[in-house]
Amino acid sequence: MIDDDGDLVATVAAILTTAGYEVLTALTGEQGLEIAFTGHPHLILLDVTMPGMDGHQVCRELQFGYTKDIPVVFLTARAELSHMLQAHRSGASGYITKPFQPDHLLETITDVLRETSVHRDDVTGLPTLASTQVEVQRMLFDHGQLGLVYVSLSGIQTLEQLQGFEVVDDVYRVVGECLEQARGDLIRDEDFVSVSSLGDAFLIVLSPSRDSGFVAEEDLLVVKRRLQQHLSSRLETELENPMLGQVDVFIGSSRLTQSPKIRFKRALLDAIARATRSIEVERDEIRARLRHEFEAIMADGLLSCIFHPIVSLDDFTAIGFELLARGPRQSELHRPDALFEVARGEGRVDELDRLCRRAACEAGSDLPPGRLRFVNTEPATMFLHSRGGSFVQEFVEGVKSSQRGLTVIEITENSVIDDFDRMREVVHQLRAHGFRVAVDDAGAGYAGLQTMVEIEPDFIKLDISLIRGVDNSIVKQRLVRTLRDFCREAAVTLIAEGIETRRQLDTLRDIGVSHGQGFLFGLPNADTPLREAYPPLETVTPE
């Protein structure tokens, strides 16, 4: 509970403790945020009017990081409808006005906890499969047969890893809205939409044809085609994130038939399993095609590099470029995430990673004199080769001695580093040959400050999840300031990745971040001539 009224806090804590709850209390918004981030409560009771941070501000800050899924209930004397609507926009799950009855308080808490965990998906707001089973069973009893359309998204895990949960939440929200709005247009009004209990797929239940009384396979195929086109179009037009090209929509279908011999729940789960298997058949066909294409790319070394500028945030001059490996331009494996997904399935990640490094080293010779070239690698790859020193030797052989001092090896923090002694030895060998080292994706939630302390990098690149929304988040701003201070003390250059709006840029400059990278300064493009400076582009600054 977060409230500046100490007597009320004590009273509410006593009521909830008697009811079996453990209660953590805070008298200010700032203190409440700290407790929420460290204590991980199941629910937060929040006052609106408080000195310092008010309740709406606290609620918005809670939408970042590990607290994003904690339901918030406002407990306030503000009873006007406009206040309730503002609370909803801030992310609140419930609203209680003062003075209140203890029974009403306990009932609201119970309902919110139940609703957020069982009845409604917390991202889309759509009903969960658990809450719609009774309605589906009634429909099956009335019609004897139903159609199921199962919508699944591919590439979500990679997108969340690279861009953060906010982007993925936006994808799910758009898909959920699209399916809900499809009623009466792409599907009949009496059909309805629910979200699977895992929250990562969507289920549409279709009633049979009015004329025939059963669900025809042709009807399911028509609905699938319409939804496929509609969803792909909506995602492309409403989500202006270049990374969304890696998200694919897959739709499967099956029929659910009433039987006196089979329990309804098992019949429903079996129908969903059949729908997902039809998706797997389609995916297997795609995988086979991509494996064949992957073999050709690896056999002929068909990789190239594009350059993305890293700029000074004072005057936007380019201090260097990140070298990004790409497959053939018109290929489905043009993007590195698609390439590495196939490589993982084939057990050839190390081979592909080596080919990408070689392409990057070769492309680095084309950069303007004096500019840094940043090359990505992962700790697992470094460890695999470090016994014989072949990892370091690859860079020594691939980079001219005159360019080694300009070459920065980026060690991504997207995986856990569990052998720092080995890591330090590899880094020491790289530095002995003149290379510099950067920690990539800092703040993404793995080794964190330990990685930075152990490696002692020359550069630290802030993860995009910290930069997105930094202009509106006090918590993110504090985290960035902490890393800024660390870098200043350790004489490390701090680079903010993923800058996409002018407001983010202005906030980072005010905080004192010296360098940045992101779509605001231009998209990675092999056809764009390299320049001395990359001033912000007004056309990629959506509010």
CATH class of the structural domain 6-119: alpha beta
CATH class of the structural domain 129-282: alpha beta
Q: Write the CB contacts of 217 (distance below 8 Å, at least 6 apart in sequence).
A: none
Q: Locate the domains of the chain by residue range.
A: 6-119, 129-282, 307-324+355-537
Residues in the chain: 543
Reading the block at residue 279, the tokens are: 């998706």
**With 0-12 CB in 10 A as exposed, 13-18 as middle and 19+ as buried, what is 285?**
exposed
User: CA nearest 400: which of 354, 371, 435, 352?
Assistant: 435
pTM of the model: 0.68
| pLDDT in single tens digits along all 543 residues of the chain | 999 999 999 999 999 999 999 999 999 999 999 898 888 888 999 999 899 889 988 988 887 766 777 889 999 888 777 877 888 777 788 889 888 899 999 999 988 887 766 667 777 878 888 778 878 888 888 888 999 999 998 878 777 777 777 788 888 888 888 888 887 777 777 777 676 655 678 998 888 877 777 888 888 888 888 888 888 888 777 765 555 556 788 999 999 998 888 888 899 999 999 999 989 888 888 889 999 999 999 998 889 888 999 999 999 999 999 998 899 988 888 888 788 888 888 888 888 888 888 888 888 777 888 899 999 886 666 655 544 467 788 888 888 888 889 999 988 755 555 667 777 888 888 899 999 999 887 776 544 566 777 788 999 999 888 898 899 888 889 889 989 998 999 899 999 999 999 999 999 999 999 999 999 998 877 666 788 999 998 755 443
Q: How far apart are CA 340 and CA 95, in angstroms?
A: 47
pLDDT of residue 142: 85
Q: Between the CA atoms of 36, 38, 43 and 47, what dihedral angle is there, to the nearest 10 degrees?
A: -20
Beta-ladder partners of 493: 459
Reading the block at residue 152, the tokens are: 């699944």
Query: 3-class secondary structure for 463-513?
Result: CHHHHCCCCCCHHHHHHHHHHHHHHHHHCCEEEECCCCCHHHHHHHHHHCC
Q: How many helices (H) and strands (E) does the chain have?
A: 19, 15
User: Greatest CA separation found in the chain?
Assistant: 79
> Domain 307-324+355-537, what architecture?
Alpha-Beta Barrel (3.20)
Q: Are 430 and 450 in contact (CB under 8 A)?
A: no
Angle formed at CA 107 by CA 105 and CA 113, multiple of 5 degrees: 100
